[in-house]
């Protein structure tokens, strides 16, 4: 499924952009593997000064009724309770709504209300459809905002991810991911990034560790972590250094102040963290840089799962919770 990511970005570049009324604010509503597409699009559009906000809960945030954003509801299954509830609230407020889904109740509601809809190919895990979902949301946001043509960045994301993957697991991304997986196997992982491409990539890494490697992981960003987490990591009294690992995501576009913070932070935690690895984004556009840093995390999470004899695909416990609700 990971190998199909380059084609997913290319698929989105060929989509017919939906017609949607322009708005100064776009609110992307979705959960988990679908909702993270909104985080990617927020990072991409922030660089262009477009106001994209994220909602990962029932209903809508209180400001939506007054600000009147375009609401983009994204759910791979089309049956996620929180996302359906956001659409209900948006329709109650008379807000413009667009939908991204494979089918389900969301496309039924979209059909009944004549909402612009992008149907993404079905049959995958939602988190594996990242390129389809990011691409579809991006095409809708571009249609509703002054973002400009997203096709070049989608094509670049396709090319850069394809270069990393190579053919039959022989690309440089696989080599890098195998080395990192060896270093991190059996450890509790924290992933650090900074505002922009590595912020969303750090989030993706942690979630892929949870779902693919079935092991807890968390993420945070510089400079905020310099004001709290640094203390925990630089202390040795808890004896965690042999059981934890640190992934530091770096971006060639990061501010010099951020680079300096990463260097100094690495010096300070160096004595207490046995497994620390650095991963750099590749590509030019914010989308390509977000996609490449995320792809390495996807691969690492699967290599860690393979090494532990775990099937990375099923997430039965998420379904169990949904059934119990
Ligand atoms: O990875 C997963 O399967 C989950 O995070 C789902 O994406 C999440 O539960 C939401 O479901 P859907 O993507 O179908 O809206």
Whole-angstrom distance, CA of residue 64 vs CA of residue 37: 20
Tally of CB atoms within 10 A around 174: 18
What is the number of the ligand 1 atom nearest to the C-alpha of 32? 5
Q: Determine the pLDDT at residue 197.
A: 98
Query: What is the C-alpha to C-alpha distance for residues 29 and 200, in angstroms, rounded to an integer?
Result: 16
Q: How many CA atoms lie within 13 A of 178 on its CB side?
A: 8
Cβ of 132 below 6 Å from ligand 1: no
Do residues 130 and 8 touch, judged by C-beta distance below 8 A?
A: yes
Q: Give, for ligand 1, the residue of 76, 128, 209 to mutate: max count of ligand atoms closer than 8 Å to Cβ.
A: 76
Q: Distance from the CA of 231 to the center of ligand 1, in angstroms?
A: 34
Residues 6+ apart with CB under 8 A from 169: none
> 């914010």: which residue's tokens?
286
DSSP code, position 16: P
**Ligand 1 centre from 30 Cα, in Å?**
8
Residue 121 DSSP code: P
Ligand 1 nearest-atom number relative to CA 34:
13
Residue 181 makes CB contacts below 8 A (sequence gap 6+) with 299, 300, 303, 304, 307
| 208 Cβ inside 6 Å of ligand 1 | no
pLDDT at 40: 98
Locate 8 and state its tokens.
């997913």
pLDDT at 146: 86
Q: Is 33 in the pocket of ligand 1 (CB under 6 A)?
A: yes
* Pair type for strands 117-119 and 70-75: unpaired
Give just the sign of the alpha carbon dihedral 12, 16, 18, 24.
Answer: positive
244 sits in which H/E element: strand 244-250
Evaluate: CB of 212 within 6 angstroms of ligand 1.
no
**Spatial CA neighbour of 134 closest among 53, 21, 13:** 13
Total Cβ atoms within 10 A of residue 119: 15
Whole-number pLDDT of residue 136: 98
- Known catalytic residue: 55? no
- Give pLDDT, residue 241: 82
Sign, CA torsion 38/43/47/53: positive
Concerning whether 210 is annotated as a catalytic residue, the answer is: no
pLDDT averaged per 10 residues in sequence order, the chain, 325 residues? 97 92 94 98 92 98 96 98 98 97 98 97 98 98 92 98 96 97 94 98 98 96 97 88 93 96 95 92 98 98 97 95 93
Answer for the pair 72, 87: CB distance below 8 angstroms, yes or no: no
Q: Which residues of 193-226 are buried (b: 16+ CB within 10 A; e: fewer)?
A: bbbbbbbbbbbbbbbbbbbbbbbebbbbbbeebe
Separation CA 228–CA 243 (nearest Å)? 20
Query: Which of 28, 31, 127 is the best mutation target for the ligand 1 pocket, counting ligand atoms within 8 Å of the beta carbon and taking the most?
Result: 31
Is the distance from the beta carbon of residue 211 to the nearest atom of ligand 1 less than 6 Å?
yes
pLDDT for the residue 279 = 98
Task: Respond yes or no: is residue 237 known to be catalytic.
Answer: no
> Is the preceding omega at residue 223 within 30 degrees of 0, hence cis?
yes
Distance of CA 78 from the midpoint of ligand 1 (Å): 9
* The predicted structure's pLDDT at residue 165: 98
Longest dimension (CA), the chain: 60
Q: If you search the block for the tokens 């991204």, which residue do you land on?
A: 100
Whether ligand 1 lies within 6 angstroms of the CB of 116 is answered as no
């Amino acid at each position: 499924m990971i190998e199909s990511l380059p084609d997913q970005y290319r698929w989105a570049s060929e989509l017919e952009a939906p017609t949607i009324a322009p708005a100064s604010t776009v609110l992307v509503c979705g959960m988990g593997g679908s909702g993270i597409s909104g985080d990617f699009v927020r990072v991409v559009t922030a660089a262009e000064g477009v106001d994209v906000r994220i909602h990962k809960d029932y209903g809508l945030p209180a400001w939506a009724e007054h600000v009147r954003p375009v609401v983009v509801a994204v759910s791979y299954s089309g049956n996620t309770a929180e996302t359906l509830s956001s659409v209900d609230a948006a329709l109650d407020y008379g807000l413009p709504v667009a939908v991204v889904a494979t089918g389900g109740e969301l496309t039924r509601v979209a059909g009944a209300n004549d909402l612009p809809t992008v149907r993404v190919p079905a049959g995958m895990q939602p988190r594996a459809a990242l390129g389809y979902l990011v691409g579809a949301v991006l095409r809708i946001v571009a249609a509703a905002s002054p973002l400009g043509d997203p096709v070049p960045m989608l094509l670049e994301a396709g090319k850069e991810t394809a270069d990393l993957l190579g053919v039959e697991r022989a690309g440089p991304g696989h080599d890098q991911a195998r080395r990192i997986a060896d270093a991190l196997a059996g450890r509790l992982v924290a992933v650090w990034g900074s505002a922009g491409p590595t912020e969303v990539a750090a989030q993706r890494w942690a979630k892929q560790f949870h779902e693919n490697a079935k092991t807890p992981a968390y993420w945070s960003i510089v400079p905020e972590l310099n004001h709290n987490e640094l203390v925990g990591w630089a202390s040795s009294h808890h004896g965690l250094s042999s059981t934890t690992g640190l992934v530091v995501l770096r971006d060639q576009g990061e501010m010099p102040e951020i680079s300096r913070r990463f260097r100094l932070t690495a010096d300070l935690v160096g004595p207490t963290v046995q497994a620390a690895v650095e991963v750099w984004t590749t590509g030019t556009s914010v989308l390509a840089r977000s996609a490449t840093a995320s792809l390495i995390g996807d691969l690492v999470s699967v290599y860690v799962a393979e090494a532990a004899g775990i099937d990375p695909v099923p997430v039965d416990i998420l379904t169990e919770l949904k059934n119990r609700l």
